[in-house]
Structure 1
Amino acid sequence: MKELEVPFFSVIVPVYNKGPHIKRSINSILNQSFRNFEIIIINDGSTDNSLEEILKFKDYRIRLFHRIKPGPGASPARNLGISQAKGEWIAFLDADDEWFPYHLERAYELISHFPDVYIISCGWQIKLKDQIAENAFFKRYKKYKLMKINLTFYLNSCLMREAPICTSVALIKRSSPICKDLFPQVIKRGEDLFAWLKMLCFHKEMAWSNYIGAIYHTDSVNMLTQKAPAPYELFRGNLINHLTIYLNEKERILFKKYINYLKKEVLIIKLWVEIREPMKKYLGMYTDIIFRVLIKLIKLIPTSIIVKFIK
């Protein structure tokens, strides 16, 4: 990309205390085979050496913005990045993840094949220490090169724990009517899940390609750990239910089923965080067996009762 050229992609990277990893993430963007992009880095009030590491890069495509007060969550930073984006399409990369060099090139090919879509994604790898795995949706559908995913397909895949999208492989078209403030700023967890769900509810479909675009690092600092809270806030007020205004009656039935599933998943996370470790002190090696039985029982409990436990 020449200095005065309008970028095709705007890559948004929110950064909060990711000093050990931000260099890796930025380099993975700069090493892209597709060159027409800008990088929008939002320093979200970092108190470590993140800013120092960012300033070492002198590439003219990097635009740096600062938020003095961090959070809550990454939503305000991502929304700020969206408001400053110049590209036709907006890509997201978490500061502790990284892209493969061909990611934007393959994304461009997917967009060219489906010019009418507003959200796209691909496969990704999950890395935990020395172990690497492909995400479940990719493993099931990697024999298909390019495909459209409608809302029904999306929700059913999520119900099978096979979501076709995560933040570091998500790209959205900037001209989408719901692009502004896409990420809800009233919650700290689950804001990305909400954003992609909102895009699918509104636009009804997305496009997907069978390549691995990113590595999702689960062992980095500040990652969601066993001590982190579950995304309870998704179900407070009318945040999630508000999305039903975009749905027809048939879609609402499946949507409700998915939301009930999410509520039970949140309770399982809550129990894992708050109960599993204390249980180990008394039950030792039997803890995981008992916990698996507990999870099966939770799935049989009516959602109306589940809600009382996640408030």
Structure 2
Amino acid sequence: MRQTASAAEIIVVDDVSADEGPQIAGRYPGVQVLNRSKPGPGGYAARNLGIRSARSDHIAFLDADDEWAENHLETMGAMIRAAPRDTVLFGTGYDEVHPGGHRIVDVYRRSGGAQRSLAFPDFVRAWLDCGECPVWTSAIVARRSALLEAGLFPEERCRRGGDKDLWLRMAGQGKVQLNPVQTAVYFKDSQNMVTALAHDNVCHCMVETILAMQEQAPRSTRKLLVRLANRETFQYALRTAKSQRVRHASWKHFKPWHNPLQFAVLLGLSSPLCRPLARIGMSLKKLSARG
């Protein structure tokens, strides 16, 4: 409601919440509240309901525990007007607030400090270079037609990582516009975060998407996708190993010749020594980030 550029429509989706949030949101003029009778994993079904109900050409997402700067929509609107016509996804920078009030400023340093437009191979390369997805859900705007064409959030086949899976599919449709200006805050100290839940001990849903993309991609892009699949598989296994032994089936598509050391760690994570090796894996992650 405080945005310097007004939203064309505001849709709030109540995914069977246990507080008075829907009633409070409904008191604001012009706010449409949609209610679901059964909660969906990861909030994916709730977002899909909002997308299908929307009438605007572009959609911005804001999870209940995140925050926009007052110029967020204004910044996004300027990006949309200036971007090439085949741009399907727009992302700005954001800060992270961690438990204890620790704040990481300018998380979007991965954009190289300048606004730029990325074709699909460059988007994957940026993902690999920075060690994480170049866009984040509460700091993006997506073309609604591209969301529908990509198949929306994977509510039926994914409990975790579905956001990244969708952004990857959309990046395969057109360009991604990145702007390093910080317009959002990611609160990682919330008590009810989806990302705080235990990881499923299964193959990351995004790996299925990558395998399908490899069949149609040029050879140079296929190599990038293999590296991305390995990276996401390894990181997902490390997080799973914090609470349980990792199943072999969860990393069955890992290509060992690309990352032999990580492959050795994965073998260990599937053994009774998984906890110590998980700590080794986290150390390798830190060393990789520094390198």
Indicate yes or no: 2:18 matched with 1:78: no
Correspondence for 1:98: 67
- Aligned-residue Cα RMSD (Å) equals 2.8
**Equivalent residue, structure 2, for 1:158:** 127
Aligned residue pair count = 253
> CA offsets per residue over residues 160-187 of structure 1, 9 Å max, x none?
3143210001111123274464111121
Report % sequence identity. 27
Matched, 1:223 2:223: no
Structure 2 CA distance for partners of 1:110 and 1:236, relative to 1, 3 Å: closer
Picking from 277, 280, 287, the partner of 1:293 is: 280
Which structure dedicates a bigger proportion of its chain to helix? 2
Residues 173-192 of structure 1: matches in 2 within 5 Å?
Answer: 173-176=143-146, 178-179=148-149, 181-185=151-155, 186-192=157-163
Deviation at 1:295, TM superposition (A): 4.0
- Using the TM superposition, give the Cα deviation of residue 211 of structure 1 relative to its aligned residue in structure 2, in angstroms: 0.8
The residue aligned with 1:258 is 228
**Unaligned 5+ residue runs, structure 2?**
246-274, 287-291
Q: 1:212 maps to which residue?
A: 182
Measured at CA, do residues 256 and 290 of structure 1 come closer, stay the same or move farther in structure 2, by a change above 3 Å? closer
Distance in 2 of aligned mates of 1:238 and 1:289: 29
Check the 8 A contact 2:124/2:224 in 1, yes or no. yes
Q: 2:112 and 2:207 mapped to 1: Cα distance?
A: 38
Aligned to 1:89: 58
- Counterpart contact for 2:92–2:182, Cα < 8 Å: yes
Q: Displacement of 1:237 after TM fit?
A: 8.7
Return the offset for 1:148.
Answer: 0.6
Give secondary structure in 1 for the equivalent of 2:193. Answer: coil
- CA 1:179–1:222: 2 relative to 1, 3 Å: farther
Residue 213 of structure 1 aligns to a residue in which SS?
A: strand
TM-superposed deviation, 1:201: 1.8
- In structure 1, what is the Cα distance between the partners aligned to 2:36 and 2:151? 16
Structure 1 residues 272-311: aligned runs within 5 Å:
272-274=242-244, 292-295=279-282
* 2:42 aligned counterpart, secondary structure: coil
Give the structure 2 partner of residue 13 of structure 1.
Answer: none
CA distance in 1, matches of 2:29, 2:201: 37
Shift of 1:256: 1.3
Which of the numbers 223, 235, 247 marks the counterpart of 2:217? 247
1:35 counterpart letter in structure 2: S
Q: For 2:47, give the aligned amino acid.
A: R
The alpha carbon displacement at 1:238 in A equals 3.8
**Cα shift at 1:243:** 3.3
Spell out, residue by residue over 1:56-85, the C-alpha distance to the aligned partner (whole angstroms, 9 max, x if none): x3221x111111011022111111111111
Task: Tell me the equivalent position of 1:66.
Answer: 35
AA aligned to 1:293 is: I
Deviates more, 1:255-264 or 1:147-156: 147-156
Task: Provide the residue aligned with 2:173 in structure 1.
Answer: 202
Residues 238/289 of structure 1: CA separation in 2 closer, same or farther (3 Å cut):
closer
Q: Secondary structure at the match of 1:211?
A: strand
Q: For residue 298 of structure 1, report the CA deviation from its aligned partner.
A: 9.3
Q: Does 1:38 align with 2:25?
A: no
Q: Is the 8 Å Cα contact of residues 188 and 233 (structure 1) preserved in structure 2?
A: no
Alignment match of 2:79 (pick from 94, 98, 110): 110
Deviation at 1:249, TM superposition (A): 2.7
1:7 matched residue in structure 2: none
In 2, Cα distance between equivalents of 1:183 and 1:210: 25
Distance 1:139 1:236 in 2: 24
1:42 shift after superposition: 1.0
What corresponds to 1:22 in structure 2? none
Tell me which stretches of 4 or more aligned residues in structure 1 moved more than 6 Å: none
Output the amino acid matched with 1:91: A
